[in-house]
Amino acid sequence: MPVNASKVGLALGTFAALVHLVWAALVGFGAAQPFMSWVYGMHFLDNPFTVQPFALGRAVLLIVIAFVVANIVGWILGTLWNWVHKK
């Protein structure tokens, strides 16, 4: 069954943007560093990263770029799906 590649891109782009919005909120509320240390600790690793202070411009850019890149990847995946499943 063919998929609409544009809708796949939109869905994946929206998901990626929401994930990065949550990350930006964690940074903004000061919860990102403890979260990262917890995730690394679960994997028996030391956290080599330090979270930088929140900057609204960078947060918006992060979310927009995540949306655009994931949208393109989703469109490519949808197009490949349709190509592989041609009758």
- Residue 64 corresponds to which tokens in the numbers above? 């927009």
- The model's pTM is 0.89
Mean pLDDT, range 10-32, rounded to an integer: 98
Q: What is the model's pLDDT at position 35?
A: 96
Q: Tell me the pLDDT band of 87, cut-offs 50, 70 and 90.
A: low
Rama region for 30: left / alpha / beta (φ>0; ψ in -120 to 50; rest): left
Q: What is the model's pLDDT at position 86?
A: 87
pLDDT tens for each residue of 69-83: 999 999 999 999 999
SS3 53: coil
pLDDT tens for each residue of 23-56: 999 999 999 999 999 999 999 999 999 999 999 9
Cα(86)–Cα(73) distance, rounded to whole angstroms? 20
